[in-house]
Amino acid sequence: MRKKLNRIDILSLALGSIIGWGSFTLPGSKFLHESGIISTAIGLILGGLAILIIQKGYHIMMEKHYEDGGEFSYTYNNMGKKNGFVVGWSLTLCYISMVPLNATAFVLVLKKLLGSRVDFGYLYEVAGHSVYLSEVIIASLIILVFTYINRRGLKLSSRIQNIMILLMVVNIMIVFIFMFIKADHSLVKNTYIVNYKLNMVEISKVFAIVPFLFVGFDVIPQIVTDLNFEPSKATKMAVLAIFSGVLFYNLLNITTGLVYTPEKALLEQWALGSAVMDNIGYTGFMLLIISLVGAVAGGINGFMLSSSKLIGSLAKYRLIPVKYSKENDNGVFENAIKFVALVSLIAPWFGREVIIYIVDMSSLLAAVAYFYVCYIGWKHSIGLDRYFSAMGALISIIFMALLIIPGSPARLSSPSIVLMVLWAVLGYFYYKRYSKTMK
């Protein structure tokens, strides 16, 4: 009998997809430098509330739509082939890009532990980032391990997901408590709290990347047919995952801010890791590494599963070759898993910087899907559901505007915008070429 997912499985899947490598690096590279502690907290809380409003549209979807493919199949059935393709095309890149992003993060973890000994076999430089054969090999091995796990079915992948996320949650809490007890609170007080003034630019820089930070909550609709309870009740798990995401992003940011000023944090290669190592020693650092490995592994597993489900659904609707909808004996879209693995294995050869450019697009790609789900909810609901769905659609537009309007404090980088245009153009020509063969 095939494994069905319970509430704990769903919570682990969503939280593991929300809390990834970025939550451990953004405090030093972005949050403290651009927004400090308070503005970051406000941005994350407002963003979390915005995602909760959008989640209402997803709740409506899961009440009315029981089918693999989530947002894609929902949009296809309610707004036709073209709009369904737009959502499917957007989410495909959004989900798949997260797999090599987290796989290459494993290389960075090893670099923290072993130093430059990890780097050997220099190949070339892409976008200012040196690509080493060792990085490609390590990332590829990680991808292959999770490909094997996901081909084995939900029983194994969900068990590993639960263990990884438990390790992540427990160790983040332990590290934060010991750091808070041991740190000199005068630094964080004088640097981040005293003389703080509300700054909407600082807040918007965090708020605008919320679709990327919380993209994991929407993996739940992708596995709606694998639940052992009513899909509409999965909303509680999504809400809990969103609240937990806000909490853990803030805890990791505060942990870094307890030790470093924004300027000092920016100079550190990994500010959070250095802060923990310098203040509670190697044991605390290893706990942080274990939680980071749990987060990264959870992200790879979650997005590999959701990507394969999405691709399998696209194939069922014949937007891509039907062979990708073939299930193996474990109920897994095996060819879809292999496709995700193949694309993920190619990505590390372009270097982590190019992967990050693509992942940065995920905020915009995710916001497109959010808009469609909420718009459909608005069209087909009444009362408060209709009101919240309209708000969710508006928030999605605001997210998109912050990311693309020139002069916006959170506008995507030029390489990300160029890649975004190329992906859209590629999608246009693909649709024109194959639309007649689509369902």
Structure tokens at 268: 């550190």
The H-assigned helical ranges of 66-153 are 71-114, 133-151
How far apart (Å, rounded) are the C-alpha atoms in residues 339 and 329? Answer: 18
Averaged pLDDT for residues 114-143: 87
Instruction: Convert the pLDDT of each residue in 180-238 to its tens digit.
Output: 999 888 999 999 999 899 999 899 889 888 877 888 788 888 887 778 778 777 888 88
pLDDT reported for residue 77: 93
pTM (2 d.p.): 0.89
Q: Which amino acid is present at 359?
A: V
Residue 148 clears pLDDT 70, i.e. is over it: yes
> Residue 439: pLDDT above 80?
no
Long-range (24+ apart) CB contacts under 8 A made by 280-287 are 280/175, 280/178, 280/179, 280/182, 284/175, 284/178, 284/179, 287/171, 287/174, 287/175
How many percent of the chain have pLDDT more than 70? 99
pLDDT at 88: 93
The confidence score (pLDDT) of residue 321 equals 87
pLDDT tier at 243, thresholds 50, 70, 90: very high
Average pLDDT over residues 371-383: 93
Q: How far apart are CA 6 and CA 18, in angstroms?
A: 19
Closest CA to 140 of 344, 380, 419: 344
pLDDT score, position 276: 93
Cβ within 8 Å of residue 152, ≥6 positions away: 330, 332
pLDDT at position 438 over 60: yes
pLDDT recorded at residue 70? 85
Task: Determine the pLDDT at residue 113.
Answer: 77
Q: Which of 39-53, 106-120, 276-290 has the lowest mean pLDDT?
A: 106-120
Helix (H, G, I), strand (E, B) or coil at 303: helix
3-state secondary structure of 61: helix
Span 42-89, pLDDT tens digits: 999 999 999 999 999 999 998 888 887 889 999 999 999 999 999 999
Distances (CA, A) of 4 to 8, 32, 113: 11, 41, 37
Q: What percentage of the chain exceeds 90 in pLDDT?
A: 44
Q: What are phi and psi of 397, to 5 degrees?
A: -65, -40
Segment 326-330 shows an average pLDDT of 85
**Predicted pLDDT of residue 2:** 61
**Number of DSSP helices (H) and strands (E) in the chain, helices first:** 18, 2
Asked whether residue 267 carries a pLDDT value surpassing 90, the answer given is no
The two structure tokens encoding residue 426: 């590629």
What confidence tier does 120 reach under pLDDT thresholds 50, 70, 90? Answer: confident
What is the dihedral sign for C-alpha 313, 318, 321, 323? positive
Question: What is the spatial distance between Cα 87 and Cα 82, in angstroms, rounded to a whole number?
Answer: 9
Confidence of residue 21 (pLDDT cuts 50, 70, 90): confident
> Any idea which residue has 């044991």 for tokens?
283
